[in-house]
């Protein structure tokens, strides 16, 4: 006998959790689609030459080889994110894609990392990106946080979307006389402010031979955090007419205006977020869940200049955001924050009391399913106790008894297994009561 030991870093959920995870995925997808994002699914496998195009995280990539093939050079590997596949897909199908291309992509990705709490080797990401051909309107920068806000509202989870714009930071550093290299260095230090605190950042800036007045100014800027209009006002007070800085503030002001429907408890402008990657060029996002602070940012992204420059000679600017779905869900499971009591989609279990009632059971089941109500008939003639135990264990909410059912009257008895309440009524009346 072979012992089925779990593989560390490859999470699998229990039966009740499976349904809870699907519910979260369905909500995310439905909101993405309500905003006109269309499905993209790419193959899990890419050429190594594609994945290694930037040469950075090679060591985490899982290569593929046939178990009985001759080991040689790796040619194929599993994707480690959904952005490289998107870029490759768009480059490959650039003639078939209509721009701006709005796509959602909810797929697993694989990374050969050392597994630790909340970090997996196989996990789901849920991404949206909008890709323009040559240029991309700013309205999309405002749409992404609106979509994310709607998702967390529907999930019933408080989410705080932090927004910044790299142009504000870089334009300001330019106005302080810092050159590009120095600006990048400063960004890297500022990015650590949440972890190491303002004092340590100041220390680091001083070590770069930035004078203390300039360091203070950098810190003053990245400390601005709060309601969008307030942050914008304070940033303006910092007073510089640097063009890039001003452009950044204009973009932020547009985003603030578009998102005025989101309360300031859920939307803050935070000039201290940087996003590690150099990739981003304008608006950037990080989303925290106040009720789950240890999660950190669970959803981040931003505006970038050119999606697919390594594959195609065509400027494709974009803006994207990604929900760390598996990390989110596993945290919610650990906190008992998702209802996992249902082990089946079945809403109604029809009791099967005797062979004679089989036609009645079948007719009732067909009527319920036709109305979109997931239904099971108990799978054999059995003692009532056994049938109820099955419903209880699987978390089926209703049990239906067909004894009274005739084609004419269509009377049924329905028992609510939570409250114990039992009613007798025509089948159609009960269906209608469920659909309200």
Cross-sheet strand order for the sheet of 422-426: 375-377, 348-350, 398-401, 411-416, 422-426
Q: Does the protein bind a second copy through residue 263 (CB under 8 A)?
A: no
Produce one character per residue of 214-223: b if its CB has 16 or more CB atoms within 10 Å, e if not. Answer: bbebbbbbbe
Q: Does the protein bind a second copy through residue 110 (CB under 8 A)?
A: yes
Q: In angstroms, rounded to a whole number, what is the distance separating the alpha carbons of residues 53 and 84? A: 9
* Distant-in-sequence, close-in-space partners of 131: CB < 8 Å, separation ≥ 6: 86, 90, 97, 99, 100, 101, 103, 307, 316, 317, 318
Shortest Å distance, C-beta 91 to a second copy = 5
**Which structure tokens are listed for 429?**
């009346």
Q: Which of 55, 56, 66, 209 binds a second copy (CB under 8 A)?
A: 66
Q: Does the protein bind a second copy through residue 91 (CB under 8 A)?
A: yes
**Which CB sits closer to a second copy, 37 or 401?**
37
| Interface region with a second copy, contact rule CB under 8 A, candidates 72-80, 223-231, 234-242, 412-420 | 72-80
Collapsed DSSP state (helix, strand, coil) of residue 165: strand
- Strand runs labelled E in 170-279: 225-226, 267-270
Q: Does the protein bind a second copy through residue 279 (CB under 8 A)?
A: no
Q: Does the protein bind a second copy through residue 41 (CB under 8 A)?
A: yes
Among the listed residues 337, 332, 299, 304, the one whose alpha carbon sits nearest the alpha carbon of residue 318: 304
* Distant-in-sequence, close-in-space partners of 189: CB < 8 Å, separation ≥ 6: 201, 204, 205, 208
Shortest Å distance, C-beta 31 to a second copy = 9
**Which CB sits closer to a second copy, 19 or 288?**
19
Q: Which of 28, 50, 364, 399 binds a second copy (CB under 8 A)?
A: 50
Longest dimension (CA), the chain: 91
| Interface region with a second copy, contact rule CB under 8 A, candidates 214-222, 227-235, 374-382, 411-419 | 374-382
Q: Which of residues 144-183 bind a second copy (CB under 8 A)?
A: none
Q: In angstroms, rounded to a whole number, what is the distance separating the alpha carbons of residues 274 and 320? A: 15
Q: Which of residues 302-331 bind a second copy (CB under 8 A)?
A: 310-313
- For residue 77, the surrounding DSSP H or E stretch is strand 76-78
Q: In angstroms, rounded to a whole number, what is the distance separating the alpha carbons of residues 288 and 160? A: 5
Binding residues for a second copy, rule CB under 8 A, total: 97
Shortest Å distance, C-beta 263 to a second copy = 15
Q: Does the protein bind a second copy through residue 8 (CB under 8 A)?
A: no
Q: Which of 162, 287, 330, 375 binds a second copy (CB under 8 A)?
A: 375
Q: Which of 269, 304, 390, 401 binds a second copy (CB under 8 A)?
A: 390
Strands 375-377 and 348-350: parallel
Q: Which of 214, 223, 281, 343 binds a second copy (CB under 8 A)?
A: 343
Q: Which of 96, 116, 207, 213 binds a second copy (CB under 8 A)?
A: 96
Q: Which of 6, 156, 293, 420 binds a second copy (CB under 8 A)?
A: 6
Q: Does the protein bind a second copy through residue 406 (CB under 8 A)?
A: no
Q: Which of 242, 246, 344, 434 binds a second copy (CB under 8 A)?
A: 344
235 in Cβ contact with 249 (< 8 Å): yes
**Which CB sits closer to a second copy, 83 or 183?**
83
């Amino acid at each position: 006998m072979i012992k089925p030991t779990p593989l560390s870093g490859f999470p699998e959920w229990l039966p009740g959790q499976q349904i809870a995870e699907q519910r979260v995925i369905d909500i995310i997808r439905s909101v993405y689609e309500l905003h006109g994002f269309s499905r993209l699914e790419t193959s899990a496998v890419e050429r190594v030459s594609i994945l290694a195009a930037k040469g950075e995280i090679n060591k985490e990539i899982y290569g593929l080889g046939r178990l009985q093939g001759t080991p040689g050079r790796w040619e194929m590997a599993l994707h480690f994110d959904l952005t490289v596949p998107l870029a490759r897909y768009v480059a490959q199908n650039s003639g078939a894609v209509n721009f701006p291309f709005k796509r959602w992509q909810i797929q697993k990705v694989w990374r050969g990392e050392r597994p630790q709490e909340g970090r997996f080797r196989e996990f789901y990401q849920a991404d949206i990106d909008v890709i323009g051909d040559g240029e991309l309107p700013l309205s999309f920068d405002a749409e992404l946080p609106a979509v994310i806000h709607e998702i967390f509202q529907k999930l019933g989870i408080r989410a705080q979307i932090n927004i910044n714009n790299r142009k504000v930071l870089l334009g300001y550093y330019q106005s302080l006389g810092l050159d590009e290299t120095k600006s990048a260095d400063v960004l890297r230090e500022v990015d650590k402010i949440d972890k190491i605190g303002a004092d340590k950042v100041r220390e680091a800036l001083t070590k770069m031979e930035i004078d203390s007045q300039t360091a203070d100014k950098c810190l003053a800027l990245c400390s601005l955090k709060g309601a969008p209009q307030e942050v914008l006002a304070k940033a303006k007070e910092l007073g510089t007419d640097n063009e890039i800085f001003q452009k950044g503030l204009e973009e932020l002001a547009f985003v603030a205006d578009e998102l005025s429907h989101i309360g300031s408890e859920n939307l803050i402008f935070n000039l201290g977020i940087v996003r590690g990657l150099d990739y981003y060029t304008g608006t950037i996002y990080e989303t925290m869940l106040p009720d789950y602070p240890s999660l950190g940012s669970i959803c981040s992204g931003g505006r970038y200049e050119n999606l697919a420059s390594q594959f195609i000679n065509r400027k494709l600017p974009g803006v994207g955001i990604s929900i760390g779905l598996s990390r989110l869900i596993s945290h919610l499971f650990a906190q008992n924050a998702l209802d996992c009591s249902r082990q089946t989609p079945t809403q109604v279990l029809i009791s099967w009391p005797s062979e004679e009632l089989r036609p009645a059971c079948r007719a009732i089941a067909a009527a319920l399913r036709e109305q979109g109500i997931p239904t099971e008939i108990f799978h054999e003639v059995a003692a009532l106790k056994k049938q109820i135990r099955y419903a209880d264990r699987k978390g089926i909410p209703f049990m239906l008894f067909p004894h009274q059912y005739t084609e004419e009257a269509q009377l049924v008895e329905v028992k609510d297994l939570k409250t114990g309440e039992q009613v007798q009524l025509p089948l159609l009346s009960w269906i209608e009561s469920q659909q309200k």
